[in-house]
Amino acid sequence: MTQKGSGRLLPAWAKTAIGFVLSLALTGLGLLAITFFIGRVVPIDPVLAVVGDRAPPAVYEAAKERMGLNDPLILQFVHYVAGILRGDFGLSVSTQRPVMEDIARYFPATLEMATLGILIGVVIGVPLGALAAARQGSIIDQVIRVIGLAGYAIPAFWLGLVGLVLFYAQLKWVAGPGRIDIFLDGMVPPVTGLLLVDSLIAGDFESFTNAFSHIILPATILGFFSLAYIARMTRSFMLDQLGQEFIITARVKGVPARVIIWRHAFRPIRVQLITVIGLSYAALLEGSVMVETVFSWPGIGNYLTTALLNADMNAVLGGTLVIGAVFIAINKISDALYRILDPRAR
């Protein structure tokens, strides 16, 4: 009876996998619904974007019928979900290409810039936060806190313009707007869509150097904003740990300060930092519109801005949905890493 009863029970890993899939499916469905219904209530007429504002009423009505906008809203949503499940996000009015094809073209540029930005934010922000906590109340702590405050207060577009004027126009340290110089555009065979990676795969170091010169300034600006947030949260987490009794005991025993900070105080906050870094990374992916606009960066933010100005709702909804899906995926990965690093959460 025990063997028979145990056979009906699912293994723990299977229950976890099923729960993960169900959670992902429900979250995705909710995202689909919110994205769709917001797209239908905004004061933008997608039919006018197709036929123009001077089209005769008969042409307008025919286009509206062809686009399925005369159907009940629930039926429209069902058709929309069915199309998404087939990988059909519709046709972009702006580019006259399938939206999914546009997203596959533009999203890697944003992914590449945001990834480099979060690496800069983590590599610099975490040590700064730990240093500020270890030197609480000192001049170093005050300077790092001012840097963190500046990351919240300075507008991204202003910092981007100042960076272009200083490092591109005046000092000539970096390349200007765009992803790569025009004479090298299209020279690297696309494999991953990430220009730095693809140029290394192709062995084209001239394109790699040129692309790096273009990306380093916008990525650094994005990295500055994530750095400010990560440093502030690291400092807060570290201060909490440095006040614990086991840290005081280690200091009394004469344990070196470096060991106390990085082995005793930093290890317990890794789980919290994973969540902070994941949220910061997702914020860079969805919030890089201003930086992409200033630097004429051919990313998903610039694409969505152009689509919105052109009332291209298929592109707006498709791009928003993809960014939301990436946000969900990053949160799920953060949760998985949380369980790996913290046995108590398993």
Q: What is the pLDDT of residues 128-180, one digit of tens each?
A: 999 999 888 899 999 999 988 888 888 888 999 999 999 999 999 999 899 99
User: What value does the mean pLDDT take over residues 186-195?
Assistant: 89
Residue 5 placed within a domain: no
Task: Kindly report, residue by residue over 264-291, the tens digit of the pLDDT.
Answer: 888 888 888 988 998 899 888 877 888 9
- pLDDT over 80 at 336, yes or no: no
What pLDDT was estimated at residue 1? Answer: 45
Q: Which of 49, 65, 88 is the last residue of a domain?
A: 88
DSSP, collapsed to helix, strand or coil, labels residue 91 as strand
Do 84 and 121 share a structural domain?
A: no
- H runs (alpha helix) in the chain: 2-7, 12-41, 46-51, 57-66, 73-85, 99-134, 139-153, 156-163, 195-202, 205-242, 245-252, 257-259, 270-286, 289-294, 300-309, 313-341
Q: Tell me: do 152 and 51 sit in the same domain.
A: no
The average pLDDT across 232-244 equals 89
Q: How far apart are CA 158 and CA 307, in angstroms?
A: 24
Q: Are 88 and 100 in contact (CB under 8 A)?
A: yes
pLDDT tens, position by position, 197-215: 999 999 999 999 999 999 9
Residue 223 domain flag = yes
- The answer to whether residue 80 sits within a structural domain is yes
> Which pLDDT belongs to residue 7?
46
**3-state secondary structure (DSSP) of residue 191:** coil
Q: Could you give phi then psi for residue 91, rounded to 5 degrees? A: -105, 135
pLDDT at 56: 84
Do 240 and 134 sit in the same domain of this protein?
yes
Same domain for 176 and 311: yes
95 domain residue, yes or no: no
- Residue 301 sits at the vertex; the CA angle it makes with 295 and 306, to the nearest 5 degrees, is 90
Is position 28 within any domain?
no
Query: For residue 192, is pLDDT > 60?
Result: yes
> What pLDDT, on the 0 to 100 scale, is given for residue 9?
61
**262 and 327 both lie in a single domain:** yes
The answer to whether residue 121 scores a pLDDT higher than 90 is yes
> Does position 82 have pLDDT exceeding 60, yes or no?
yes
Regarding whether 210 and 237 lie in a shared domain, the answer is yes
Question: Is the whole model's pTM more than 0.85, yes or no?
Answer: no
Domain boundary among 54, 88, 122: 88
Mean confidence (pLDDT) of the chain: 85
**Which of the two residues, 53 and 189, has the higher pLDDT score?**
189
Q: Does pLDDT of 8 surpass 60?
A: no
Question: Residues 222, 289: one domain?
Answer: yes
Q: Can you point out the beta strands (E) in the chain? A: none
Q: Is residue 61 part of a domain?
A: yes
Are 110 and 299 a contacting pair, CB within 8 Å?
A: yes
- Provide the 10 A C-beta neighbour count for residue 288: 27
Strand extents, DSSP E, 172-234: none
**Looking at the structure, do residues 165 and 200 belong to the same domain, yes or no?**
yes
Cα distances (angstroms) measured from residue 231 to each of 62, 127, 190: 56, 8, 36
| 65 and 119 co-located in one domain | no
Sequence letter at residue 251: R
Structure confidence at residue 214 (pLDDT): 95
pLDDT exceeds cutoff 70 at 346: no
pLDDT average, residue stretch 21-32: 79
| pLDDT over threshold 80, residue 10 | no
Classify residue 122: in a domain, yes or no.
yes
Range of the domain at 145: 103-345
Same domain, 109 and 225: yes
pLDDT grade for 4, boundaries at 50, 70 and 90 = very low
Number of domains in the chain: 2
Amino acid at 280: S
Question: Residue written as tokens 């293994």?
Answer: 11
Is 169 a domain residue?
Answer: yes
Residues 225 and 76 in one domain: no
CATH label of the domain that carries residue 122: 1.10.3720.10
| Domain stop point among 60, 88, 116 | 88
Q: Are residues 171 and 208 in the same domain?
A: yes
